[in-house]
């Protein structure tokens, strides 16, 4: 269910004795909105200014990219994604998988901000791996990019 910013802060306070330096804020059922993401991030950043934040979003309601964009606008640059959008949530039957890495990379590249964020990913090689996943593991990937274009024709230069 929904976890409030105050509940998130309380959880972080409980683990502070372990000197945790990074916390990944997650929406594993894919229902968060950009305004909720903004609220949680700003409240956590206010309470724990030295804490580095990451983000993890599922795409059940198609808002994962919007939520990442919001997180990026508040300085969060550690984003967890999955090839083809694989994954799911055992607590939310029917929920969509993770945000697809290729959808995020495409957004960043098309927006001209990919060069400012070090991904370490060779996009062409990465698409080869996702094509292999589609052929050998999951033919119905959730990735928006995989539905709109073939991986064979897509490269950084054709974007």
User: Other CB atoms closer than 10 Å to residue 132's CB: what's the count?
Assistant: 13
Catalytic residue among 55, 82, 89, 100: 89
The beta-strand segments (E) located in the chain are: 22-27, 52-57, 78-80
CA distance 137 to 154: 21
- Is 18 noted as a catalytic residue in this protein? no
DSSP label at residue 20: -
Task: Tell how many helices (H) and how many strands (E) occur in the chain.
Answer: 6, 3
Task: Find, among 51, 110, 60, 55, the residue nearest to 85 by Cα.
Answer: 60
Query: Which residues are tagged catalytic?
Result: 89
């Amino acid at each position: 269910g929904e976890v409030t910013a105050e509940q998130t802060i309380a959880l972080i306070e409980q683990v502070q004795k372990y000197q945790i330096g990074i916390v990944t804020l997650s929406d594993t059922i894919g229902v968060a909105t950009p305004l909720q993401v903004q609220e949680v991030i700003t409240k956590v950043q206010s309470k724990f200014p030295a804490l580095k934040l990451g983000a993890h979003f599922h795409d059940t309601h198609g808002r994962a990219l919007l939520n990442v964009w919001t997180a990026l606008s508040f300085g969060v640059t550690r984003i967890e994604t999955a090839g083809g959008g694989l994954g799911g949530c055992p607590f939310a039957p029917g929920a969509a998988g993770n945000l697809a890495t290729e959808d995020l990379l495409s957004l960043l590249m098309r927006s001209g901000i990919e060069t400012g964020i070090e991904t370490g990913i060779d996009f062409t090689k990465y698409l080869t791996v996702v094509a292999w996943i589609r052929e050998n593991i999951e033919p119905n990937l959730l990735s928006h990019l995989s539905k709109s274009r073939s991986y064979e024709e897509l490269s950084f230069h054709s974007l």
